[in-house]
């Protein structure tokens, strides 16, 4: 689905990304993690075509990203960001309908469209009763569901997530990621997600790519990548890694300064 080869990005003389190379297969969920300033969000902007690369190659379905028209690219991918919604004043239905832009003619009409897809998506995400409510009257969790509905209405093959759960409480974080994971499985969607929460990355990602200083320092399944030494190297933090008691995936327990060891009953992996 995605092929990145020797990708670089400079802002002036400063290198943000330095020679990245990796591939993402269709239908996989890949997390991009790393400390602030490591180039995570910049990488997503390059893949989505929002910003031009300095050098290297980005192929989407075998075709260079820059070779797609805006409308063609919008049929291939959608982006869900921290602040993914338009200015206030629009209703929920109007925002979700914006996701149909790639399929509309120059008059803003969609040939053969009857609105049933929009209703189905809103119903699935529990926002159909909010259809005529304006954005300023929504909670944070409701707004993020509207943003996801807009992305779903676009019917992309690739979903790019830029820290989509940052401003949500833990209940909404899990709910949001469950929605995305279910959508991904049903439609064999490819997902690339920039995430700060390592435990959420471990729970929902098939693979994680770890960036530091614009380069890849680790790439693999969460169980292979999340180690005490990597957390120390990348984040400068001490941690103990344990297995989740239900899913078995690694979970990161940060170790405060002054605590030399966790209790014996916590089993490390």
CATH number, domain containing residue 19 = 3.40.50.300
Output the CA torsion sign for 29, 24, 148, 183.
negative
Same domain, 87 and 178: yes
- Flag whether the pTM goes above 0.85: yes
Same domain, 78 and 160: yes
How many distinct structural domains can be found in the chain? 2
Residue 126 placed within a domain: no
**What is the model's pLDDT at position 114?**
58
Residue 105 placed within a domain: no
Q: Which domain holds residue 246?
A: 227-269
Residue 114 placed within a domain: no
What are phi and psi for residue 134, nearest 5 degrees? -85, 160
Residue 240 placed within a domain: yes
Question: What whole-number distance in Å separates Cα of residue 256 and Cα of residue 264?
Answer: 17
**Token pair in block for residue 29:** 């969920």
**Token pair in block for residue 232:** 């120390």
**What is the model's pLDDT at position 72?**
92
Task: Dump pLDDT digits (tens) for 160-173.
Answer: 999 888 777 888 88
Same domain, 239 and 206: no
Same domain, 87 and 183: yes
Same domain, 86 and 182: yes
Residue 123 placed within a domain: no
Question: What whole-number distance in Å separates Cα of residue 48 and Cα of residue 193?
Answer: 12
Task: Dump pLDDT digits (tens) for 65-113.
Answer: 999 998 899 999 999 876 656 667 889 999 999 899 888 776 666 766 6
């Amino acid at each position: 689905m995605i092929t990145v080869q020797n990708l670089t990005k400079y802002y002036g003389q400063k290198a943000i990304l330095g020679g990245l190379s990796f591939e993402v297969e269709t239908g996989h969920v890949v997390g991009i993690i790393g400390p602030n300033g490591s180039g995570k969000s910049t990488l997503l902007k390059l893949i989505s075509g929002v910003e031009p690369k300095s050098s290297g190659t980005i192929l989407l379905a075998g075709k260079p990203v820059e070779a797609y028209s805006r409308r063609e690219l919008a049929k291939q991918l959608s982006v869900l960001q921290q602040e993914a919604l338009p200015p206030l004043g629009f209703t929920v239905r109007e925002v979700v309908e914006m996701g149909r832009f790639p399929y509309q003619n120059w008059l803003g009409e969609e040939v053969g469209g009857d609105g049933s897809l929009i209703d189905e998506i809103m119903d699935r995400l529990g926002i159909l009763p909010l259809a005529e409510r304006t954005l300023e009257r929504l909670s944070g969790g409701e707004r993020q569901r509207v943003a996801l509905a807009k992305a779903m209405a676009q019917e992309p093959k690739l979903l790019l997530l830029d820290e989509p759960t940052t401003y949500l409480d833990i209940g909404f974080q899990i709910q949001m990621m469950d929605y995305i994971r279910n959508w991904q499985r049903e439609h064999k969607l490819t997902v690339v997600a920039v995430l700060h929460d390592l435990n959420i990355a471990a729970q929902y990602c098939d693979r994680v790519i770890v960036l530091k200083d614009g380069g890849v320092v680790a790439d693999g399944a969460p169980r292979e990548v999340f180690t005490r030494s990597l957390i120390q190297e990348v984040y400068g933090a001490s941690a103990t890694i344990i297995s989740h008691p239900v899913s078995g995936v690694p979970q990161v327990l940060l170790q405060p300064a002054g605590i030399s060891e966790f209790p014996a009953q916590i089993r490390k992996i």
